[in-house]
Chains A and B, each alone.
Chain A
Amino acid sequence: MSAVTLDRATLRIGDRAVLSDVSFNIEFGEFIGVLGPNGAGKTTLMRAILGLLLPNSGSIKVFGRTPERGNPAIGYLPQLRTVLPDLRVRGRDFIASSFNGERWGLPVFGRHDRRMIEETLDAVGARDLAARPLSDMSGGERQRLLLAQALIGAPQLLLLDEPLISLDARHQEVAIAVVRKICRERKITVLFSAHELNQLLGTLDRVLYLGSGRAVLGTVEEVVTAPVLSRLYGTDIQVLRADGHIFVMSRGRDVERTDHLHDHNHGHENGHNHHHH
């Protein structure tokens, strides 16, 4: 049994087929980098795995079963992250709110729950944020908290949608290292979407590249090649390898970097990112 299996799945949003007739198989414990241009369907794919979006044809299986909303085995960091600008709630309570937050009643936590929350804060190095209100945090600090909460409750599958946006270079490295460590220790399957391939090169097992309604899953050597990417981007793509880095270029322009900068600006201006895939 695999972690995530798509069998000739088509996912539509409105009239547009975001992914059409896509098949792939992600094994247990794999760290998958999810890449592709804006609008290629990274968020849509994750929403389908969460059971928020049904395939129009074909099938999606998560741990051998049809996805169901509210599956506790999945940890999720959404890309669109609404954080109220003047939210005077401390980091610890913010994290705790997502822990079994779908249950009715009062948000009371037992000793075991509280220890799990503290351990998760430690795991992502967010202990310093526990007592501070969100209104006083930078975008990067909020991001670290959100990463922590995706890990709460010992999930088997982590869906991280652009977790590096609005983090500075140092915190990006820390975030990747934390996810890698937890993934290896707990044998968790990770889908990690990003704009930049290079930061993930040492970490990912395979890469899932999306574009033009298609998806290609394989090792970096198999997937990140000029013919495959040209097909996915629908334009002439060159792949340059230099000094352990890979540059994906379209007509002399670095495809990943320009996308990335675009998102970055958005994140700072609005406090959250408006990218509807």
Chain B
Amino acid sequence: MATIITTTDMFAYEFMTNAFAAAGIVAVVSGLVGYFLVMRGQTFAGHALSHIGFAGATGAGLIGLAPLWGLLAFTLAAGIVMGTLSERISNRDVAIGVVLALALGFGLLFLHYTTSFATQATALLFGNVLAVDHTMIATLAVLGAITLGALATIMRPLIFASLQPELAEAKGVSLRFVSTAFLAIVALAVAACAQIVGVLLVFTLMVGPPAAAQRITTGLWSGLLVSAALALADAWLGLTIAFYTDWPVSFCIAVLSALGYFATLAAQRTRDAHAEA
């Protein structure tokens, strides 16, 4: 009985139902897109996109636009540029690192001229899911649908190009197009994800769950399913814990995501040790 009452309590608040809806949409999108980010070994590129988005978000605030649009514009542009410049962008860690540091610097400059410096900065860096309204949920739903639609369209050549680039090229797959289209998709997912957990913590939903999923199962479809389910569990459980403890939501999600990853890693080590013994 007790659980039923407390759950009802939590959902009695509109900001909590809004948060659950928004976090749910974003978690599923992040889990699915992140699965391919991890498969392609491009997690650092994903991280960089979010930092570049920070400059966009603060810049948008400066000219009176909603941060989401600046975030979207910057991540999308950066994703397309990264994809076009190199088919193996994941090997360009130094270049990406320099650009993301520069972007954070510009983000700071734009914030400097914003009146509500501290609130804005915290919301952008660490997310502010409890302030989500109906418009934002609708926007995230559309953004999520576009992202997943695009991912579904390129999924087959994306997997081929990720697993066997040389063969895919020989079979007529344009590696550059696939790589660019994928980073554009990642850019959309990052922009959505940053609304919930902030630009600094997009890894919690985009990398933690898929990495754990790939330790749990080696199948493609089962991997995608587990990845999305884990991201959803992290997000919703994180929200619940935050509601009852008053800890920041993004912190709770970050802890759950890390726990999930390390638990599957440890489980696999134990399995391997048993297999060898």
Minimum CB–CB distance from B97 to chain A (whole Å) comes to 21
Residues of A near B161 (CB, < 8 A) are 101
Interface of B is mostly: helix
Verify A103–B157 contact, CB threshold 8 A: yes
A84-B41, A90-B218 as given contacts; A102 in contact with B154, CB under 8 Å: no
Question: 1/0 per residue A87-98: CB within 8 Å of B?
Answer: 111100110011
B171 interface residue, CB < 8 Å from A? yes
Partner of A78, one of B153, B154, B156, B166: B166
Verify A82–B166 contact, CB threshold 8 A: yes
Residues of B near A101 (CB, < 8 A) are 156-157, 159-161, 164, 168, 171, 173
B219 interface residue, CB < 8 Å from A? yes
Size class of the A contact interface (CB-based, 8 Å): 20 to 34
Partner of A89, one of B152, B154, B218: B218
B142 interface residue, CB < 8 Å from A? no
Chain B 186-244 interface residues, beta-carbon cutoff 8 Å to A: 214-215, 218-220, 223
Verify A105–B166 contact, CB threshold 8 A: no
Verify A106–B156 contact, CB threshold 8 A: yes
B118 interface residue, CB < 8 Å from A? no
Residues of A near B157 (CB, < 8 A) are 101-104
Verify B160–A93 contact, CB threshold 8 A: no
Minimum CB–CB distance from A29 to chain B (whole Å) comes to 22
Minimum CB–CB distance from A234 to chain B (whole Å) comes to 29
Partner of B218, one of A76, A88, A98: A88
Verify B160–A98 contact, CB threshold 8 A: yes
Verify B163–A94 contact, CB threshold 8 A: yes
Verify B219–A97 contact, CB threshold 8 A: no
Partner of A132, one of B153, B156, B218: B218
Minimum CB–CB distance from B122 to chain A (whole Å) comes to 35
In the bound complex, how far is the Cα of B157 from the Cα of A146, in angstroms? 17
A227 interface residue, CB < 8 Å from B? no
B170 interface residue, CB < 8 Å from A? yes
Residues of A near B218 (CB, < 8 A) are 88-90, 93, 131-133
In the bound complex, how far is the Cα of B166 from the Cα of A50, in angstroms? 12
In the bound complex, how far is the Cα of B160 from the Cα of A107, in angstroms? 10
Minimum CB–CB distance from B134 to chain A (whole Å) comes to 32
Q: How many residues of B are in contact with the other chain, CB < 8 A?
A: 30
Partner of A90, one of B152, B169, B219: B219
A149 interface residue, CB < 8 Å from B? yes
Verify A98–B220 contact, CB threshold 8 A: no
Residues of B near A228 (CB, < 8 A) are none
In the bound complex, how far is the Cα of B60 from the Cα of A98, in angstroms? 43
A78-B166, A90-B219 as given contacts; A106 in contact with B152, CB under 8 Å: yes
Chain B 118-175 interface residues, beta-carbon cutoff 8 Å to A: 152-157, 159-173
A52-B169, A93-B219, A133-B218 as given contacts; A102 in contact with B160, CB under 8 Å: yes
Verify B160–A87 contact, CB threshold 8 A: no
A87-B39, A107-B159 as given contacts; A102 in contact with B168, CB under 8 Å: yes
Verify B167–A89 contact, CB threshold 8 A: no
A104-B157, A106-B156, A132-B218 as given contacts; A97 in contact with B172, CB under 8 Å: no
In the bound complex, how far is the Cα of B220 from the Cα of A93, in angstroms? 7
Residues of A near B159 (CB, < 8 A) are 97, 101, 107
A69 interface residue, CB < 8 Å from B? yes
Partner of A104, one of B40, B153, B163, B165: B153
10 A-B pairs besides A89-B163, A98-B171, A100-B156 with CB distance below 8 A are A47-B170, A50-B170, A69-B171, A90-B218, A90-B219, A98-B167, A98-B168, A101-B171, A102-B157, A104-B154
Interface residues, chain A, CB within 8 Å of chain B? 47, 50, 52, 69-70, 76-78, 80-82, 84, 86-90, 93-94, 97-98, 100-107, 131-133, 146, 149
Interface residues, chain B, CB within 8 Å of chain A? 39-41, 152-157, 159-173, 214-215, 218-220, 223
Q: What would be 12 A-B contacts, judged by CB atoms less than 8 Å apart?
A: A50-B170, A70-B173, A88-B214, A88-B215, A89-B39, A98-B171, A101-B159, A102-B156, A102-B173, A105-B153, A149-B164, A149-B167
Closest 8 CB pairs of A and B: A70-B172, A101-B160, A78-B166, A90-B218, A88-B214, A133-B218, A69-B172, A93-B220
